[in-house]
A = this chain, B = another copy of it.
Amino acid sequence: MASVDAVVDLLGVLAYGELSGFDHLVDDARLAPELTSRVAMSDVAASDYANYQRLVARLGALGADPFAAMTPFVAALEGYHALTAPSTWLEAVMKAYLGDGLAGDFYREVAAFADGETAALIDDVLRASDRAELAVAEVRGAIVIDPSVAGRLALWGRRLVGEAISQTQHVLAERDSLMLLLVEGTGDVAGTAGLITRITERHEKRMELLGFTPG
């Protein structure tokens, strides 16, 4: 069983992830070509905010100050968003789907060893956000209309996974409690090497779902 400190760290990074995700998705929704697609992304943002509120409630129930719990992770998550600011609607849609998937893969790996109630909440929060439908429809459609966009978007996908892994490593290097949780949770004493391999593989599956060919 993980220490309370580690669980508070985990809930803190997850809560700030949902809060900053909400914040940036609302911005990115402005890139939408029309009101219907803008609202589709705003819906995702609103569900991120509901997740944030549930995680903050859990932090409160554990006796932790939610703001103190989130603060250590603000720089890493804002760094990720600053380095992956989408400049087109397709980039925004890909980020919403792939970034969420990357975060979900990481949290699932470490959540297993949290207390039962926290683990169930995290599982539920990760399940609540499904952006695949929007992303698949928009990206596949765009590649069919203009195959020349595929190359640029494939690079964008690689940038998203690269920055996500880089920021995750920063966070793990600074928070011993999370690194311990990861080692306990995965049984992988090598730390992040195996995690990165697994996260990259799942990212590739999502890229294929979007219509990109592997390689």
Contact = CB atoms under 8 A, between A and B. Distances in A.
A70 interface: yes
A169 interface: no
A31 interface: no
B67 A42 contact: no
Main secondary structure of the interface of A (DSSP, over half): helix
Interface string A144-163: 00000000000000000000
Nearest to A48: B46
Interface residues of A, number: 20
A30 B74 CA distance: 13
A46 B50 contact: yes
B22 A71 contact: no
A67 B26 contact: no
A74 B35 contact: yes
A71 to B, nearest CB: 7
A87 interface: no
A48 to B, nearest CB: 10
Given A26-B26, A27-B27, 20 more contacts: A19-B39, A19-B42, A22-B26, A22-B42, A23-B26, A23-B29, A23-B42, A26-B45, A35-B67, A35-B70, A35-B74, A36-B67, A39-B67, A42-B49, A45-B49, A46-B46, A46-B49, A46-B50, A46-B53, A49-B49
